[in-house]
Structure formats: C-alpha cells, structure tokens
Amino acid sequence: MGLHRAQPRIYVALDSAKPQRVRELIGELDPALCGIKIGKEAFTALGPAAVEWARERGFPVFLDLKFHDIPNTVRQACRTAADLGVSLVNVHASGGRRMLEAAREAIEPGPDAPGLIAVTVLTSMEDADLAEVGVTDGTATQVERLAGLVVGAGLDGVVCSAHEAGAMSRRFSEDGLIVTPGVRPAGSARDDQRRVMTPAEAQAAGATSLVIGRPITGAESPGQALAEIVASL
C-alpha cells in the first residue's frame, strides 16, 4: 500500500494568470504523460477552477501554494487542498515542527492521499540573503537542518534543486518524493534558471518528479515538447 497517490514523472508548470492560456495548455498536453502544477499566479487569478479544469482532463495536479502560517491555518488549508482532489501539496519547512505536524495530521498517509512535501530553502536565496533574516550558517546547513524537520514530521518528501536531489533522497524511504524544478532539456533556453540539469540527469540524480515550465509552455507545440522530454527519459 502506497503512502500517497502515484505521481507523474513530470509536472508542467502553468505559470499564467490568463484563463484562456491555462485552458489552452491543459487542452494541448497529454494527461498520460504529465501532471499539471498550479502555482500562486494561476491560483490567485483563477482559483479552484484551474484545478478543476486540469482534473476534468485527467491530469494529476500539484497545488504549489507553499503554505506557511500558524499550525491551525496550515492544517485547514491542507485539508481544503486535499478536498480539491489534488495529487501533491506543499508547505514551507521553515514554518517549523508544529506546523509540519499539523499539515501531516490534515493529510493522513494512504494510497488516495495527496503527496505532502516541503520546500527547505528557496533556491533564490543565497547565504547573504539567509544571513539578513538571521540564519548565519549558510544555505547548505539550513537545507540539511530543515530536511531533518521534514523527515521528523513524517512528510513524504521535498521540493529541491536537482543538485540536492541525491542527498535528499537518501533521507526518505523509497516512496519518498523528490520534486525538482530548474530542469532544462539540452539546447533549450535557461531563462532565469541558473544551475540547470537536463531531465535525464535530474532523474539519475534522484528526482522522482520533474517540474518543467517554459521549455514546454513556451514551445511552438507544447504537446510535442513534452513528448520529446518524455522520450529522453
């Protein structure tokens, strides 16, 4: 018996606030090949309808809202997310042990439960940024410290860069979810991503699901771009 719903190998990030664009992409992609990631931009503009459109077409949905609040609020938010029928939910590990435990209580492990994962340190933060918020021992140490809390609270995995995937996957059981953005097929634009890996490299490094946005959503044919990435795995 699994501890959470089965996960797709790829979640396509639909980072748009335009309903037409979101619907178009949902229509062009193949639910047999990927899930859909709905983040703060799309969810703020479109609400649960965006989740519903993707689910209607048969896509697993990653609701990427990175909850970070007092334990009771995060508990209720996680419960509400699970009620939307999504397959993956996330929170910020820096919300602390009690917040992580509240999230876990809201989403009890089971084959129909969404995966529950945490962000450790945002990859946009460097040592100097952490020092400004009072964390002076560096990103690497902070990632390890927060990963310990995530494992301790019984969450299913983490969102992390492909460069951290190996170290992170050793902390979880074989059911662990290591979800990595910053993935770029060979030859495609890096956009604002810095330390990228190809989909195959990220998977070999320990990623269990890849989050890919612009290389697919910005392609002339998103369906074809997705199929090519799947073929490269």
φ, ψ for residue 18, nearest 5 deg: -95, 115
CB of 15 or CB of 105, closer to ligand C5P = 15
Candidate segments 51-59, 147-155, 171-179, 208-216, binder of ligand C5P by CB under 6 A? 208-216
Find the binder of ligand C5P among 94, 123, 142, 169 (CB under 6 A). Answer: 123
35 touches ligand C5P (CB under 6 A): no
Q: Which of residues 124-163 bind ligand C5P (CB under 6 A)?
A: 159
- Catalytic status, residue 66: yes
The only residue of 35, 39, 115, 222 in contact with ligand C5P, by rule CB under 6 A: 39
Contact present, 198 and 186 (Cβ < 8 Å): yes
- Please tell me whether residue 222 binds ligand C5P under the rule CB under 6 A: no
What is the C-alpha to C-alpha distance for residues 108 and 117, in angstroms, rounded to an integer? 13
* 3-class SS letters over 104-148: HHHCCCCCCCCEEEEECCCCCCCHHHHHHCCCCCCHHHHHHHHHH
Hey, is 199 helix, strand or coil? helix
CA distance 69 to 203: 32
Q: Which is nearer to ligand C5P, 102 or 159 (CB)?
A: 159
Please give the positions annotated as active site: 66
| Binding stretches for ligand C5P (CB under 6 A) | 13, 15, 39, 122-123, 159, 181-182, 191, 193, 211-214
